[in-house]
Amino acid sequence: MTATTVKTTRADRILNGIERAGNKLPNPFMLFLYLFLITAVGSSILAWMDVSVQIPGADEPTQMRGFFTGEGLAWFTENLGPNYLGFPPLVTVLPIILAVGVAEKSGLLAALIRKTFGSSPRWALPYAVGVVGVLGSIMSDAAFVVIPPLAALVFAAAGRHPVAGLLGGFAAAGAGYSTTMLVTSLDALFAGITTAVTATLPNPGDPVHPLSNYFFNVASAAVLMFLAGLLIDKVLEPRLIRQNVPREQFSEDDDTTFSPVPDADLTSVERRGLVLAGISALVVAAVILAGIFWPDSPWRNEEGAFLPRSPLLSSIVFIVFAMFIVPGLVYGRVVGVLKNSEDMPRMMGDAIKDMMSFLVLAFVLGQFIALFNWSGIGSWIAVGGAETLQSIGLTGYGAIFGFVVLASLLNLFIISGSSLWTLMAAVFVPMFALIGYEPGFIQGAFRVGDSATQILTPLNPYIIVLLAMLRRYEPNAGLGTIIARMLPFSIVFWLAWFAVLSAFFFLDLPMGPGNGIFLEG
């Protein structure tokens, strides 16, 4: 028998090279442990060389402090716990995770998605998938395994191609992951990392909080929702039909199992639960607004306003917590999921379990950020980088473009948004601050690169899950099949998202409440 030779295309060779290179990267925990050690050695060498750096605006030069010195070792042994527990994302992410966990575990979030799908006419289904997919980041990583099969189900029920729903749901959820019209734990996570980095800046700019990118997120989400629906309707589904991709699932005798996909139609009890949950959300919003607009409101600042700093902006975590926990409890009670006083803490515990990998990773992230700031090496890199950009005249729009491109490329190898932002923020937030950009704006620019390319990399574990789902329809489908079909979404999303960022840049629009583009002074 003659062996069949499969011709490898140039695209295959490129993707295989990316996969091989990515597989050589250590897992995020070890990656930041290595970076911690590199920073420890580098800071010690700089300290022994008596290196200092003059930060613009500071009265005295910043002297490098070495980890492998008496001072450094004493600092580390005294602050191991505070470095971890003081890691800012823990302060904001954990409370929000508890509330979102109740909303998710009670079934409220899944019911909202099913309601959106079930009420959409046949022609509007692709756009409904775009809306649900882009907003799906509120469910965190669960969006990648809940939305695609559910979208395939409703597409098939409407006589449309189920694979278009499957792939379109994944593309919208993945390529638009960092933006949504709702405030999520990701906003709190990014804001916490940014705040940790700005602690040593002489001019840290406006405080960065979970709403710092809200205006930018809303505008981006609106554009990406429409484009996702348009691409599913006009590009993806017609191509699947031309390729004669089967509409029916093949029966397989394997051990691959998935969580059962609920029916798209809601029961009468679930509909009642949604209505009452919606009413409870409105009541919570009304109470909060009444407290805010009360003339002597304690949430106003000393000038009687809310911007740029006020107790209100410092209470965003509480507001998000309340807007999730109350509707989640109401829905769970109505549908019978919450039966006694033990159910709510159990749901919260399950939500924390889902975040366990982040809690472990946060230990080494906290140590890395703390050493980076304490040693002064972050300031040294930032000042040197800023001076380099200024010397070559690259301090404007071109610098922002290059930063987003770099984030997009790194995202092919480091798909964890928190890990990648921790790595990039430590260098680029101070660097761009020194040439006049608000940290909140740089955080918003990072979002573009962080999401648009993650549906292309084989290092994304959810692509493997999607491949298993796709093989129910196409047994011979491979990673190249998925990447080829995801590529239009990635390119169009990147271009459109960066165009929105450009509009905010050139029009000098606020990225969120109290957060602009350019630093004052």
The residue type found at 193 is I
Q: What is residue 181's three-state secondary structure?
A: coil
Instruction: Say which residues have a Cβ less than 8 Å from residue 7's Cβ, sequence separation at least 6.
Output: none
Structure tokens at 421: 């932002």
pLDDT for 400: 92
pLDDT for 335: 95
Q: What is residue 44's three-state secondary structure?
A: helix
CA distances, 394 to each of 293, 386, 390, 403, 425 (Å): 44, 9, 6, 11, 19
> Is 372:422 a contact under the CB 8 Å cutoff?
no
CA distances, 72 to each of 158, 359, 367 (Å): 65, 25, 13
> Is 454:460 a contact under the CB 8 Å cutoff?
yes
Q: What is the CA radius of gyration of the chain?
A: 24
Taking the alpha carbons at both ends of the chain, their separation in whole angstroms is 76
**What is the residue-wise DSSP string for 332-399?**
HHHHTS--STTHHHHHHHHHHHHTHHHHHHHHHHHHHHHHHHHHSHHHHHHHHHHHHHHHTT--SHHH
Give dist(CA 136, CA 147) in Å, integer: 8
Structure tokens at 430: 């101070």
Structure tokens at 216: 């930018």
Give dist(CA 415, CA 144) in Å, integer: 14
pLDDT in tens, the chain (521 residues): 444 444 555 655 664 565 455 456 566 688 779 889 999 999 999 999 999 987 655 678 889 999 999 999 999 999 999 999 887 667 767 887 888 789 888 988 778 877 777 667 788 889 989 988 888 777 666 677 778 877 887 888 778 899 999 999 999 988 778 887 877 777 888 888 898 888 777 778 888 888 899 999 999 999 999 999 999 999 899 988 888 888 887 754 444 444 444 555 788 999 999 999 999 999 999 998 888 888 788 888 887 777 556 787 678 778 878 988 999 999 999 999 999 989 999 999 988 887 787 788 789 878 987 898 899 887 787 677 767 766 777 778 888 998 998 888 888 766 667 777 877 888 888 889 888 899 999 999 999 988 888 888 766 767 777 887 888 888 887 777 888 888 889 999 999 999 999 999 999 999 998 889 998 75
Give dist(CA 397, CA 44) in Å, integer: 36
353: exposed, middle or buried (C-beta count within 10 Å: 0-12, 13-18, 19+)? Answer: exposed
pLDDT for 2: 43
HSE on the CB side for 29, CA within 13 Å?
8
Q: Whose CA is closest to 189, among 210, 220, 205? A: 210
* Strand-pair partners of 515: 512
pTM of the model: 0.69
63 φ, ψ to 5°? -85, 135
Give dist(CA 461, CA 259) in Å, integer: 17
Structure tokens at 331: 């829905």
Q: What is residue 53's three-state secondary structure?
A: strand
Give dist(CA 423, CA 479) in Å, integer: 28
